[in-house]
C-alpha cells in the first residue's frame, strides 16, 4: 500500500522513482532508449477552488484511470508525482514514440470533459500540458534524475507557451 497513491490507486512517486531507476539501468545495459513524460493538469486549481476539494479529488481519480488506460505495454508506468502532476516511464521508447504517447495522454484527459464553472460564460475544461524527454543511456553517462528534470523543464516551457502564446522556451 505504501507504494500506491491512496487517492488515485496508481503508483506514487516513491514507487515510480524505484521503477524508473531500474528501467533506466536496464536501458543502459541493453542500449535501448527510455522516455519520461511529465504531465500537469491545466485548470485544476480553479476547479479545486471553485467546485471544492471533493471535485478536485474526483478529477484526480478520473485522470489517473484515463492515463492508466493509455499504458499499453507491461513496462509502461504512470504514477502520481505530486499534487496535480503525473509522470510516465516508457522503456524502449524514443522521442518520437513518447511524443505520440504524450498526445494520447492529453487527449485522454481532455476527453473526460471535466468542466470548471459550467454555469458561467467563462466555463473551461481541465486539460493537460506535457513535457517529454528520451535518451539512450549508457553505463558511463546518463542519469535517471537528469532525464526527469529534462522532461520537467519541457513541461514548464510548454506551460508558459500555453499561458502566454508567443513566448519562446528552450529547445
**Segments forming the whole domain that contains residue 36:** 13-161
Cα–chain center distance at 162: 16
Residue 35, domain member (yes or no): yes
Per-residue pLDDT tens over the stretch 121-149: 556 789 999 999 999 999 887 899 999 99
pLDDT band (50, 70, 90) for residue 170: very low
**What is the rounded distance in angstroms from the CA atom of residue 17 to the CA atom of residue 39?**
16
Residue 6, domain member (yes or no): no
Structural element, H or E, at residue 132 = strand 127-135
Averaged pLDDT, 16-32: 96
Report pTM: 0.90
**What is the rounded distance in angstroms from the CA atom of residue 155 to the CA atom of residue 129?**
7
Residue 116, domain member (yes or no): yes
CB 57 within 8 A of CB 125: no
pLDDT of amino acid 107: 96
27 Cβ neighbours under 8 A, 6+ residues apart: 33, 34, 91, 92, 136, 137
Residue 95, domain member (yes or no): yes
Residue 82, domain member (yes or no): yes
In the chain, the number of structural domains is 1
Residue 170, domain member (yes or no): no
pLDDT at residue 25 is higher than 70: yes
pLDDT of amino acid 166: 43
Question: What percent of the chain is predicted at pLDDT more than 90?
Answer: 76
Residue 136 sits in a domain of what CATH number? Answer: 3.30.70.270
Per-residue pLDDT tens over the stretch 73-115: 989 999 999 999 999 999 999 999 999 999 999 999 999 999 8
DSSP 67-92: HHTT--STT-EEEEEETTEEEEEEET
Per-residue pLDDT tens over the stretch 42-78: 999 988 888 889 999 999 999 999 999 999 998 999 9
Residue 124, domain member (yes or no): yes
- Which is higher by pLDDT, 2 or 171? 2
CB 117 within 8 A of CB 123: yes
Amino acid at each position: 500500500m505504501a507504494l500506491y497513491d491512496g487517492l488515485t490507486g496508481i503508483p506514487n512517486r516513491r514507487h515510480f522513482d524505484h521503477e524508473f531507476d531500474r528501467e533506466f539501468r536496464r536501458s543502459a545495459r541493453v542500449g535501448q532508449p527510455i522516455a519520461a513524460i511529465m504531465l500537469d493538469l491545466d485548470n485544476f486549481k480553479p476547479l479545486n477552488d471553485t467546485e471544492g476539494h471533493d471535485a478536485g479529488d474526483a478529477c484526480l481519480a478520473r485522470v489517473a484511470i484515463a492515463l492508466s488506460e493509455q499504458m499499453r505495454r507491461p513496462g509502461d508506468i504512470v504514477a502520481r508525482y505530486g499534487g496535480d502532476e503525473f509522470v510516465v516511464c516508457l522503456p524502449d521508447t524514443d522521442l518520437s514514440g513518447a511524443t505520440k504517447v504524450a498526445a494520447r495522454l492529453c487527449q485522454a484527459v481532455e476527453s473526460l470533459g471535466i468542466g470548471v464553472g459550467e454555469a458561467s460564460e467563462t466555463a473551461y475544461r481541465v486539460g493537460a500540458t506535457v513535457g517529454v524527454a528520451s535518451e539512450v543511456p549508457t553505463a558511463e553517462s546518463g542519469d535517471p534524475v537528469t532525464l526527469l528534470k529534462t522532461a520537467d523543464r519541457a513541461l514548464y516551457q510548454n506551460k508558459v507557451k500555453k499561458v502566454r502564446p508567443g513566448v519562446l522556451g528552450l529547445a
